[in-house]
Amino acid sequence: MRLTSFLIHNAALATGFVLKQSTKTHPSFQQYYFRPYSHSSSVLQGWVQDNDGEWQWEEDDPNYTPSTTATTTASPVAAVATPQLPAGSFRPKKSLGQNYLKDPNTVVKIIKAFHQDATHQGQRSTVKRVVELGPGAGALTDRLVEIYGTDVVQCIEIDERSIDILHKKHPDLQVTHADILQVNYPQLADLEGQALVVIGNLPYYITSQILFALADASHSGAVDTATVTMQWEVGQRMVAPTSTKDYGILSVVFQLYADVKCHFKIPPTVFYPQPKVDSALIGVHFLGPNQLRQRLAGVQPAHLRRIVTTAFQQRRKTVRNSLKKLAQELEVTEVLNGPPRPLPMMVQKAMDEGDEFALQQPLPDNWASKRPEELKPGQFVELTRLFFGPTDEAVIAENAPLGQKVWRKMKHGKL
């Protein structure tokens, strides 16, 4: 099922956009896209429009320089020239973090990696719902439509100029004019009737918030996989091992929530304009709510977030010192000098079955004297249990809600 009129009208009202129905329709659905009716800074929540018409994200550094990634092997997808931007009228906007892919060989490599992720290395025969974030001029979109068709592919784009280009090339393609930070992925997945597979050449200055939004969406099983470009350093944080300078909040969250793979490095030369740093193509296979609950064994993601963020805010200190104030606030200071609690039975069972994640979950006796980067993702789960519980296995519910907004900002996800 494609996006319904209900969602479209609600999204239009929430963001201040006016609906416009395409005169050309696909046999199975009518195509809608959004056009803004006002240039007020209130039209896009969280974005501010300058006097020259440029949109900027109000929280982030406008001087930040984005980046991107790519390299590849043989693929059944032919390398075709990437779209040419309309002369004089379409310049990438730095304020939107726009760096367009211009190398057809890199596009082929990204599409091949995406297909591997979306089909779980060939374990699935079809790809049913593809959502591209920030398609731009359509370098990836053209290949996605060619392979999967407009019944499967849909795009979310904030730049009205890009929407016009895509609509002219692919009249039946569904393109939603929206801020990707405001997308409600669980609602979108419900309307589509299944989990989404995501692809995108992301705006790099808001990469982390997009990733956290996808992590939250995985609480309900709304997102299956994501294959996205990002700054090389950010990608390395997602896959970093413990006891390294790159290991941090992104490492803990995504190594707990998903299987993460760095497909390859992408040089600046394949983008226009060229970023000043290398990029990475990262593949994320979310575990889904059932397996995530097994790893958490009753620990609430919101409590985990508090432990992880507090610990890494002072990453040079020992865990005891970084969490001392929180322990005092929660009136559990005794845990700072006490032994780890026994593991829940479901974790012990996973260990007995040889589960690699569970085998690395027990806290060491000297956990309090370690620094945050020395604790594995599973050990942060047990550290959270020490502070917040649950201590009684009887209260661990198999289908306990994991939360709609835990890692993403509360003001995001309003559509």
Residue 415 lies in a domain: no
Pair (320, 343) in one structural domain: yes
Total number of domains constituting the chain: 2
Residue 399 has pLDDT above 90, yes or no: no
Residue 163 has pLDDT above 80, yes or no: yes
Residue 68 has pLDDT above 50, yes or no: no
Pair (279, 308) in one structural domain: no
Residue 110 has pLDDT above 80, yes or no: yes
Domain CATH code at residue 346: 1.10.8
Pair (324, 366) in one structural domain: yes
Domain boundary among 256, 287, 318: 287
pLDDT at site 84: 56
CA distance 280 to 109: 12
Pair (69, 97) in one structural domain: yes
Residue 272 lies in a domain: yes
Domain boundary among 227, 255, 287: 287
Pair (191, 81) in one structural domain: yes
Question: What is the residue-wise DSSP string for 331-395?
Answer: T-GGGGGSPPPPPPHHHHHHHHTT-HHHHT-SPPTTGGGS-GGGS-HHHHHHHHHHHH----GGG
Residue 370 has pLDDT above 80, yes or no: yes
Pair (140, 185) in one structural domain: yes
Pair (232, 325) in one structural domain: no
CA distance 140 to 79: 11
pLDDT at site 36: 33
pLDDT at site 66: 36
Mean pLDDT of the chain: 81
| Separation of CA 295 from chain center | 20
**How much is the average pLDDT of 8-27?**
37
Pair (203, 100) in one structural domain: yes
Pair (255, 125) in one structural domain: yes
- The lowest-confidence range among 20-29, 47-56, 216-225 is 20-29
Domain boundary among 287, 314, 337: 287
Give the three-state DSSP class for 160: helix
Residue 18 has pLDDT above 50, yes or no: no
Pair (165, 123) in one structural domain: yes
Residue 365 lies in a domain: yes
Give the three-state DSSP class for 375: coil
pLDDT at site 61: 38
CA distance 144 to 149: 7
Residue 129 lies in a domain: yes
Q: What is the pLDDT of residues 166-196, one digit of tens each?
A: 999 999 999 999 999 999 999 999 999 999 9
pTM value is 0.78
Q: In sequence order, what are the beta bridge partners of 34? A: 19
> How far apart, in Å, do the first and last CA atoms of the chain sit?
18
State which residues form the domain around 326: 299-395
CA distance 321 to 300: 23
Residue 20 lies in a domain: no
Query: pLDDT band at residue 90, thresholds of 50, 70 and 90?
Result: low
Contacts of 237 (CB under 8 A, 6+ apart): 246, 247, 248, 250, 251
Residue 263 lies in a domain: yes
β-strand 271-272 against 100-101: which pairing, if any?
antiparallel
Domain CATH code at residue 95: 3.40.50.150
Residue 35 lies in a domain: no
Pair (196, 332) in one structural domain: no
Pair (194, 112) in one structural domain: yes
Residue 231 has pLDDT above 80, yes or no: yes
Residue 45 lies in a domain: no
Q: What is the pLDDT of residues 131-150, one digit of tens each?
A: 999 998 899 999 999 999 99
Q: Which residues are part of a known binding site for S-adenosyl-L-methionine?
A: 99, 101, 134, 157, 179, 201
pLDDT at site 78: 59
Q: Which residues are part of a known binding site?
A: 99, 101, 134, 157, 179, 201
